[in-house]
Amino acid sequence: MLVGAGNRRRGLVQATLLVGVLAGCSETPGDDAKAKAIASATTANETTAESGGSIGAPGSACELPVTFDIAEKWTAEAVDAPLSQGLVTLACEVDAKPAGHIGYLRVWTGTPGNNDARTALEAFVIAEKGASKAKYTEFKANGLTGAEVEYVYTDEFVETPKKERAFAVTTLSGPVVVHLGGLDTEEHEAMLPAYELAKGTLKA
């Protein structure tokens, strides 16, 4: 009987200590909220690049139906070649080489119509021979609602399949598709902060 009582007392003491330790981890609910906010901000900073200016407005390197920030050291240049894919035509190339990467952030534009962002994006992917495993989602940025896709690309010139992605929005001037490729999946992932910067700062 005495042994059992002693065990119960030790159990109560251990439980009390455990509650105290857990309570000490977070003094107030407000502290939890602050910690989560800091963690979210840290994650966001790790997935977006420093801005090197914006494009899209009149007088910028590429005049587009939208504006967005490009990553520091990346350089933009308007494209006049009539290269089309799906419902859109290539309008601008943002080169990553000055920043030490091999790849482009390419902007494609289309003509006004009844097609929504998802339709324009699906047509873009379908027109890219070698694209597969497409996964579509929706995103919102600065009052705009658009569609985004991640997919795998491969052909006879690519040794291993590589990841690519793009997002699209519709404007009064027509659909806009912003695409990120890359030499391979490693380069693609290294350039994702620039892609996220463009998507997060996108404005009509």
Q: What tens digit of pLDDT does each residue of 189-199 get?
A: 999 999 999 99
The radius of gyration computed from the CA coordinates of the chain, to the nearest angstrom, equals 25
The CATH architecture that domain 50-200 belongs to is: 3-Layer(aba) Sandwich (3.40)
Q: Which residue has the tokens 């963690």?
A: 39
* Three-state secondary-structure class, residue 152: strand
pTM over cut 0.85: no
Buried b or exposed e, range 110-143, using 16+ CB within 10 angstroms: beeeebbbbbbbbbbbeebeebeebeeeebebee
* Domain extent listing, the chain: 2-45, 50-200
Q: How confident is the model at residue 179 (pLDDT cuts 50, 70, 90)?
A: very high
